[in-house]
Amino acid sequence: MKTPAIAAIFLFTAAFLLVGCSSPRITPSPPATSFPVAVGSQLEVANASTLLPVIESSPPGTVVTKPIAPAETAPTPEGVTSVATGATETQAPAEPEFSGAGFRADPQRTGAYHTQGVDRLNGLKWKFVTQGGIVPENLRKYSTYPAGAVQSSPAVSGGMVYLGSNDNYLYALDADNGQEKWRFLGRPDEFAKPGPVQSSPAVVDGWVYFGTVANSLFALDAKTGVQKWRFKTGSAVLSSPVVVDGKVLFGSWDGFFYAADVSTGEEKWRFKTGDKVWSSAAVSRGVAFIGSDDGRLYAVDIGTGKEKWRFQTRGWVTTTPAVSNGVVHFGSFDGHLYAVSAQDGREIWRFNIGSAVHSSPAVYDGVVYAGSHDGTLYAVDAGTGREVWRFLTGGKVKSSPAVADGTVYFGSYDSFLYAVDAATGQEKWRFETGDRVSSSPAVVDGVVYFGSDDGHLYAVR
């Protein structure tokens, strides 16, 4: 017979798992209705190898600077009308104005914050513990996801900090003192299981948008947390939304890249890739750039959902690309950091890291910064692809770096948040948490906000 203590543990565990620690699974995407469906690659997997770029067996740290891999010519998909043919072709629109907050600082996802940084660490301003973070350490091992882990990256807007957690909640906190204003359970409906919130929120015009593992993208009132609408997908939404031109753009594990109306959630178009979409879209001059587990980076017209070009790598493209000066920078699980033309997808250079790149690159003052599973943050010249410096940590670097005021901030699986000099790579300071740091920091007005797998959001200054 079980003792009362053991029985209590089993009851607590069952209750905790029921609240939403369910593993995502890929389910068939809902069929298209009246909206256009922009079809991506029509190539069979067996034929894809004919289009793969040649990957030299060069040692890590080397760079290839010739345009080895031309982008594939995108077919004009059925049901989608080309708007850039012959005499009707127009100049690309200017960069959209952005006054909100979201993953990687801006729609181009550069990771560059134009604000005061933290050159010298004074200490902790405050920390906030999530509901899952309150779960006793000895019970956390029973959850499908790290209980309460903050792997979502915070968005800071209007004196509030918004963040998601693996405990299935999106939180809104006072940026000054860390006090909770409201929390929202990412549950599709009252009968469905909620899902972890690993998607990083976007805050624009008083609304906050975010995805969940429970096959949904939500839109809430940023002040009250009241739901405005929900968009249902065929699988988990870990992609972080970007809001431009009246649309919310995001990817899903069902293999689609979606555009929904910001006010109503009505689907405008969807674009089919060949596999899961973890990546979040970067937008520049009317074109969205997004990766897929099919190994490709896609360029998609945000007005029509039509593919402009695609670029093939030899590994998953889970990183969020960064666009700067007409160049798209992104990493791949094939161990390379790439630079390709935003105009036509032609390769400019690739840098061989030699280990998977899940960290999304930042671009600042002519340098690209990206982390790798080998535990290193790399700084690479944006023009030539030559290494400038590297900084070694004690664990994987899946956190995407943020750059502000001459300092690069990023986390590591060794439980530290690091601050290093953007020009030299010299460490300025480090801050220790209780677990891995895969959340990407946000820097606003002399404060760095970031999450940890220990169930806390930290504000340091």
Mean pLDDT of 271-289: 96
Instruction: Classify residue 177 as left (phi > 0), alpha (psi -120 to 50) or beta.
Output: alpha
Asked if residue 208 is part of any domain, the answer here is: yes
41-55, 276-290, 425-439: which range is least confident on average? 41-55
Reading the block at residue 111, the tokens are 């990771």
Would you say the C-alpha torsion 223, 225, 231, 234 has a positive or negative sign?
positive
Q: For residue range 332-364, what is the model confidence (pLDDT) as tens digits?
A: 999 999 999 999 999 999 999 999 999 999 999
The answer to whether position 202 is within a domain reads yes
Indicate whether 290 belongs to any domain.
Answer: yes
In a domain, 147, yes or no: yes
Per-residue pLDDT tens for 106-129?
Answer: 999 999 999 999 999 999 999 999
User: Does some domain include residue 234?
Assistant: yes
List 391's β-bridge partners, or say none: 377
What distance in Å separates the CA atoms of residue 60 and residue 64, rounded to the nearest whole number?
11
Taking the C-alpha atoms of residue 187 and residue 227, their distance in angstroms, rounded to an integer, is 11
Residue 274 included in any domain: yes
Q: Which domain holds residue 280?
A: 50-82+105-460
Render 254-275 in DSSP notation, one character per residue: TSEEEEEETTT--EEEEEE-SS
Mean pLDDT, the chain, as a whole number? 82
Helix or strand holding residue 72 (H, E): strand 72-73
**Which one is predicted more confidently, 59 or 199?**
199
Q: Which pLDDT band holds residue 35 (cuts at 50, 70, 90)?
A: very low
Please, which pLDDT band fits residue 137 given cuts at 50, 70 and 90? low
Q: How far apart are CA 335 and CA 333, in angstroms?
A: 5
Q: What is the pLDDT of residues 220-253, one digit of tens each?
A: 999 999 999 999 999 999 999 999 999 999 999 9
Q: Residue 75: its pLDDT value, please?
A: 40
Q: Which pTM was predicted? A: 0.80
**41: pLDDT strictly greater than 60:** no
Q: CB within 8 A of 421, min separation 6: which ones? A: 406, 407, 408, 427, 428
Environment class of 34 (CB within 10 Å of its CB; exposed 0-12, middle 13-18, buried 19+): exposed
Q: What is the pLDDT of residues 426-452, one digit of tens each?
A: 999 999 999 999 999 999 999 999 999
Is 100 among the domain residues? no
Give me the CATH number covering residue 360: 2.130.10.10
* Alpha-carbon gap, residue 92 to 63, rounded angstroms: 31
Instruction: Confirm whether 267 is domain-assigned.
Output: yes
- Residue 324 has a pLDDT of 96
Q: What pLDDT, on a 0 to 100 scale, did the predictor assign at position 299?
A: 98
d(CA 313, CA 336): 9
Query: How many separate domains does the chain show?
Result: 1
